[in-house]
A and B are shown apart, each in its own frame.
Chain A
C-alpha cells in the first residue's frame, strides 16, 4: 500500500468519476453523497502522509514511484515519476482536506446538471493532486493542463451572470502562460540530453536541478516558467482574470480555486522555476518582489472599495498571495516557511470566506454589502464564525494568518528585501481596514433591509463544513510546529541546494528569532 500510496490517492477520484457516469442523472442525493464519500476516502488515503515522521527527519522525496511511461527509441522518454516532500506535503493535504468541504458546500447550491458538476470536481482533484506530486516536467504539464478543463466548465456552466466571459478569460490566460512554459520544458530537456544526461531520466526534475545551464538561457527559461506561474498565482498585473473567475464561479469552484489552484503558481516557483534556474533568480527577484508588494497594496486598496463581498474576497487573495511570494523570494528559512504556511492559511481562510459568502448568497441571492447590515442579531453562530475567519484573514495573533504573514515579512526583512517588507507591512493594516469595515457593514448595526429580518442561522450541515476549518485556524495559529517540523527539513535542503549553486544569498536565519516565532 505505502509503495503505491501516492498513485492510489491521485487516481482514486478519477476512478470515482468513472463510477459517477453510471449513476442516474436525476438522483441528486446519491450523486452528491457518492462524491462526498469518494473525496473523504481520498482524504483518508492521504492521512498517513501527514503522520509520517520521515518528513521531519529527511528533506528529500518520499513515497517515490518511478515507471517508464512513454519511450520512443532514442528520441524521448517520459517517466511516471512522482513523490512528495515537505514542500508539497501540506499542499497535498490541503487539497484532499478541502475537497470534501467543497462537495458539502454544493448540497443546496448546485441544482442543475449535478452529475456533470460532481464528475468535474473529481477530475479536478486528480489534476491537482497529480500536479503536486509530479517529479517529471512532462507529467506535471499534463496534470497542470488537466486542471484547466474542469475548472473552465465549472465556471462556465454553474457560474453567475457573467460566467462565459470569466470562463474563457480564465482558460485563455492560464493556457497562454503554460504554452510558453511548454517550449521552455522542451528546451531544458534537449539541453539536458546534449549535456550528456541519460535519456532514461526523461523530464525528471531532480536530475534537471543539477544542470548547469548558461545564464542567458536561464534568463529566458525563468521568464517562460515565471510568466506561466505568475499568471496562476496571480501576480500584479496578470491578476485580472482572478476577480472575474472568483466572482462568477459557483461556491465550490471559488473555494477550490482559492484554496488550491492559486497555490499551483506559488508552488511552481518553489519547485520548478527557482531551483531549475537558480542563476537567473537574483536578476528577477527585485522585479518579482516589487510586483508582490504592488499586489499586496493594490489588492488591498481595490478590495476596500468593492461593493460585492465575493469580489472583495477575490481581491484580498491577490494581496495574500503577495505575502506568500515575498516570503518565498526572501530565500531564507523564515521567509520560505512563512510563505509555505501562508499558502495553507490562505487556502483555509479564503476558502472559508468563500463558503461564508456562499451561505449568505444562498439565503439572499445577492452579495452586495449594501443589501446587508445587522445580520449578527439574526445569525449569532454565523457572526461568530465569520468573525474568527475575518481575524484569520487579517492575521490576528493566535490565528493562522498571523504566523504566516509574520514569518514571511520577517524573512523578507532579514533578507535583502528590507524595504519591500516595510512597505508590505502596511498591507496588513489595509487588510484590517477592508475586512473589518466589510464585517461591520454586513453584520453590525440595525437591520435596515426588511429582507434580512427572517434570515435563518447556520444549519448543522453548514456548521459541520466550517468546524474543521476553524480547528486549523487555531491549530496553525497556536502550535504551527506540527506543520513546520515536517516542512523545515525540505526547506533547509532547498536552501542548501540553492546556496550550493552559488546564488547570491543573503544572511541566513538567526536562530533566536526563529525560536521566538515558532512558539518553542
Chain B
C-alpha cells in the first residue's frame, strides 16, 4: 500500500494535466470575480474567460509532439489529446462569444455562467487525455455536471428546467451503466488502465466470448454512445437541445460530442483493439441506425433547434462510419470531422441566437420566412452553414464527409459509404427547407429582430472562415489530424 502511494506520488507529472489545471484555476478565479461584480454586468467576465481559453490553448499546444504522461500513466497529453482539446477550446470560445448578449436579452446576466463553461471544457479536455477508465470517468462527470446546470440555467423557464432535469436523469443513468461496465471490466482484467486491458485481451484466449467481459465492454460503450447521441441512445437529444439555452446547446452538440468521441476512440482503439472484428460489426449497425434515424426524424421537425438536434444525431452517425473503417484515414477523418462540425454547427447556432426573439418563441422553420432579405448577412451565413451540414463543396462539410466515406471505401465498406451518401441525400431536404423559408417565402409582418452585436458577429465570422478554409484548403489541418493518430 505504501509502495503504491509512493509510486503514485513519484509519477505525478503536473505537465500532464497542466491545460485543464490552468483552465480550472481560471474558472475558480472567475467565480470570485463574478461574485464581486454587479448583477447584470458580466461582459468583463465573458472577455476574461475568452482570455482564459486562449491561455489554456497556448499551454495545451506545448503538448504537441511532446507527449507527457502523469499520475502513474492514467493521464497523458499527446497529439491526440491536444487536437481534441483545441476543438473543445474553440467550441467554448465560440459559445462564450455568442452568450453575453444572449444572456442579457433573456434576463439571466449571471457571471457564474462563464466559469461553468470553463469547467465543462476542462472536463472535456480531461476526457480526451484520460488513459485510465477512472480518469475518463472523472472527466465525463466534470463535463456532465456542469452541463446539467447549464442546460437548466434559465431556472424560471419550464423548457430549460425540463432540459436540465431530463439530461441529468438520463445522464446519471448512463454514467451508472458506464461505471458498472468499468467495474465488470476491472473484475475480468484486474485493471482500469487502457493499456493494461489491451495487454490482458491480447494475452488471454477467448476473452471475447467471456460473458462478463462482453457485458462490461458493452455497458462502457453505452455510456459513450449516450454522450455522442448515437442511436438507440439518442432519445434525450431533441428535448435537451430544444430546452437548453441556445449557446449551451451549441456547446453540447460540438464540444461535448467531440470530447465523448475522443474518449470513445481512445478506449476502442487502445483497450479493445484486439476485438476489432466484433466491434466493427457492432459499429456498422450503430452507424447505419444513427444516420438513418437522425435524418429521417429530422425531416418532419418544425422547431429548428430540434431539427438541428436530429441532424446532430445523424452527424454522430457519419463519424461512426470512420470508426467502422478502423484505419488511419478513418481515424484522422473523425478528428477532422469533429473540428469541421464544431465550426459549422456552432455557426448555425450562433445565427439562431440572433434570430430567436426573447424567449425563443419563434425558432420554427416558418419563423425564418423572408429572413434572407431582412438580414442578408445572417441569411448568407446560415446558408453557408447549412450547405456545409449537407456536405456540399466547397465547404468543410464536404471535405469532412469525403475523408470519412473515403476511409470506409478504402477499408472495403462500400455499402456503408453508399448508405451514408444516401443519408446525406435525405438530409438535403430538411436543410433546404430552412433555405426555402429564408429566401423563397415572404417575410412575416410582426417579426421583431434582434440587432446584431459584435461578439456574436465575431463568432459567426470565425465559423464562416473555418468552414470555408477547411473546405478549400483542408490539407494542413488534415495533416495535423493525421499526426494526432495513435
Contacts and interface: CB of A to CB of B under 8 A. Distances in A.
B473 A157 contact: no
Contact of A149 (B332, B392, B414, B474): B392
Contacts of B422: 176, 179-180
A163 interface: yes
A182 B405 contact: yes
B126 to A, nearest CB: 29
Nearest to B412: A190
B439 interface: yes
A182 B421 contact: yes
B394 A142 contact: yes
A113 B373 CA distance: 9
B409 A187 contact: yes
Contact of A73 (B429, B440, B479): B479
A186 B432 contact: no
A234 B329 CA distance: 36
A146 B394 contact: yes
B440 A183 contact: no
B103 to A, nearest CB: 33
Contact of A179 (B406, B409, B425, B475): B425
Contacts of B425: 172, 175-176, 179
B35 to A, nearest CB: 47
Contact of B482 (A73, A146, A156, A171): A73
Nearest to A138: B402
Nearest to B373: A113
Interface string B393-416: 110001000110110011000100
A189 interface: yes
Nearest to A217: B414
Interface string A239-265: 000000000000000000000000000
B468 to A, nearest CB: 13
B409 A183 contact: yes
B12 interface: no
A72 interface: yes
Contact of B475 (A71, A156, A180, A186): A71
Contact of B417 (A70, A72, A152, A186): A186
B406 A186 contact: yes
> What DSSP secondary structure best describes chain B's contact surface?
helix
Contact of A70 (B410, B432, B439, B475): B475
B33 interface: no
Interface in B412-439: 414, 417-418, 421-422, 424-425, 428-429, 432, 435-436, 439
A363 B254 CA distance: 54
B328 interface: yes
Interface in A156-201: 156-157, 163-164, 167-168, 171-172, 175-176, 179-180, 182-183, 186-187, 189-190
Nearest to B477: A72
Contacts of A149: 387, 392
Nearest to B474: A70
Contact of B432 (A146, A171, A187, A190): A171
A180 B428 CA distance: 14
Given A70-B474, A73-B482, A183-B417, A168 B405 contact: no
B428 A172 contact: yes
* Residue from A148, A186, A190 with most neighbouring chain B CB atoms (10 Å): A186
Contacts, number: 90
Chain A residues touching B, range: 20 to 34
A187 B428 CA distance: 23
A392 B332 CA distance: 56
A76 B406 contact: yes
Contacts of A71: 475
A22 interface: no
A475 interface: no
B478 interface: yes
A518 interface: no
Interface string B69-112: 00000000000000000000000000000000000000000000
A519 interface: no
Contacts of A186: 402, 405-406, 409-410, 417
B277 to A, nearest CB: 21
A141 interface: yes
A493 B14 CA distance: 68
B409 A190 contact: yes
Contacts of A419: none
A190 B329 CA distance: 12
Given A183-B405, A190-B410, A145 B478 contact: no
Nearest to B415: A183
A75 B329 contact: yes
B107 to A, nearest CB: 36
Nearest to B393: A142
Contacts of B435: 156
A146 B429 CA distance: 18
A157 B478 CA distance: 37
Contact of A148 (B392, B394, B439, B475): B392
Contacts of B429: 168, 172
A153 interface: yes
A180 B440 contact: no
A318 B403 CA distance: 37
B482 A72 contact: yes
- Most B CB atoms within 10 A — which of A69, A75, A146, A157? A75
A141 B393 contact: yes
Interface in B427-481: 428-429, 432, 435-436, 439-441, 473-475, 478-479
Nearest to A224: B418
B436 A168 contact: yes
Contact of A183 (B414, B436, B439): B414
Most chain B CB atoms below 10 A, which of A71, A76, A113, A183: A183
B325 to A, nearest CB: 12
Contact of B392 (A145, A156, A164): A145
Interface in A29-82: 69-73, 75-76
B328 A75 contact: yes
Contacts of A156: 435-436, 439-440
Contacts of B474: 70, 72
A72 B439 contact: no
Contacts of B409: 183, 186-187, 190
A153 B392 CA distance: 15
A439 B421 CA distance: 46
A176 to B, nearest CB: 5
Nearest to A68: B475
Contacts of A75: 328-329, 332, 403, 478, 482
Interface in B360-399: 373, 387, 392-394, 398
Contacts of B428: 171-172, 175
Contacts of A171: 428, 432
A183 B410 contact: no
A72 B333 CA distance: 11
A374 B202 CA distance: 89
A121 to B, nearest CB: 16
Nearest to A75: B329
Contacts of B387: 149
A145 B393 contact: yes
Contacts of A157: 439-440
Contacts of B421: 179-180, 182-183
Given A75-B478, A76-B403, A179-B422, 20 more contacts: A71-B475, A72-B482, A75-B329, A75-B482, A141-B393, A142-B393, A145-B393, A148-B392, A156-B439, A157-B440, A164-B436, A172-B428, A172-B429, A172-B432, A175-B425, A175-B428, A183-B405, A183-B414, A186-B417, A190-B410
9 contacts: A70-B478, A75-B482, A156-B440, A157-B439, A182-B402, A183-B417, A186-B410, A186-B417, A187-B414
User: Which 6 residue pairs spanning A and B have beta carbons closest together?
Assistant: A179-B421, A142-B393, A186-B409, A72-B478, A176-B425, A70-B475
Interface of B: 328-329, 332, 373, 387, 392-394, 398, 402-403, 405-406, 409-410, 414, 417-418, 421-422, 424-425, 428-429, 432, 435-436, 439-441, 473-475, 478-479, 482
